[in-house]
Amino acid sequence: MSNDLSRRRFLGVAGTAAAAGAVAGTAAAEEQKASPSGPIKILGICTSPRKGMSTAKALQVALDAAREVDPDNVEIELVELAGLRIPGEPAAGVELEPGERDDFPSLVPKLSDPKVAGLIIGTPVYFSNMTALCKAFLDRLMFFRKNDFALADKVAGVIAVGGSRIGGQLLAVESVQGALYGQDMIVVGAGPPTTRCGAAVWNQKDKDVTADEAGMQAVRDVGRRVAELALRLAKA
């Protein structure tokens, strides 16, 4: 993505967020000054309602692999949504009740940072699909879509962690990917040597999630693919 395009998209988002009272004016202004050149940033978005658990651990493995691609030029950050209240209604223009908590606006500056060139979304598998928190977050990304498709051309990878070996990870991954296509993001799989459309991880109750060797390999590969392509696009 050219720097001009990246900046134009970001300014549109930051401006609208500020107008909506979602971003403090000074913070938005500071971010507008940030240079889109230099290191890129990959965000890992953990959509488990449980903080620091298996999905967060898997995402950290993916992020570490992303940084390893080029440690001088790839910054990483794990963003856990656990504990945040993200109602879905505003995505459809439905107003919240007076005083109803909405933490999505606090995520807007982070996602709008022009350095952010890639997202890795991690979801636990809940009844063969993503969590409600993940769905609400993805619905609220409507904000970016309405702001000149501000997430378009950013690279995205997806990880799903289930308590069963074949517990619906694939459906969860593909459901998240479907929402990301709706943002015109560039969705990647896990790359060679085999065909994996993302990372399917098995969280065995009696073991740490990192014990799933095949799952961790896919997780590392997703992280690497996201970073490799995001770097290539940043240099284009």
210 interacts with ligand FMN by CB under 6 A:
no
Nearer to ligand FMN, 49 or 109 (CB): 49
Nearer to ligand FMN, 6 or 55 (CB): 55
Options 7, 15, 27, 50; binder of ligand FMN; rule CB under 6 A: 50
Q: How far is the CB of 129 from ligand FMN (least distance, A)?
A: 8
Range in contact with ligand FMN (rule: CB under 6 A) among 31-39, 50-58, 66-74, 183-191: 50-58
215 interacts with ligand FMN by CB under 6 A:
no
Of 223, 226, 218, nearest to 169 by C-alpha is 218
d(C-alpha 8, C-alpha 190), whole Å:
30
Options 167, 189, 215, 223; binder of ligand FMN; rule CB under 6 A: 167
Contacts of 206 (CB under 8 A, 6+ apart): none
State the CB neighbour count (10 A cutoff) for residue 164.
Answer: 12
C-alpha distances in angstroms, 37 versus 45, 71, 117, 169?
Answer: 23, 16, 11, 36
State the CB neighbour count (10 A cutoff) for residue 96.
Answer: 11
54 interacts with ligand FMN by CB under 6 A:
yes
Nearer to ligand FMN, 17 or 59 (CB): 59
Q: What are phi and psi of 147, to 5 degrees?
A: -105, 70
198 interacts with ligand FMN by CB under 6 A:
no
H helices present in 46-199, as ranges: 54-69, 104-112, 132-140, 142-145, 169-181
Given a contact cutoff of 8 angstroms between Cβ atoms, the answer to whether 73 and 83 are in contact is no
Q: How far is the CB of 100 from ligand FMN (least distance, A)?
A: 24
d(C-alpha 31, C-alpha 187), whole Å:
26
173 interacts with ligand FMN by CB under 6 A:
no
Options 28, 108, 121, 125; binder of ligand FMN; rule CB under 6 A: 125
Options 6, 16, 55, 175; binder of ligand FMN; rule CB under 6 A: 55
217 interacts with ligand FMN by CB under 6 A:
no
81 interacts with ligand FMN by CB under 6 A:
no
Q: By CB under 6 A, name the binding residues for ligand FMN.
A: 48, 50, 53-55, 124-128, 161-164, 167-168, 203
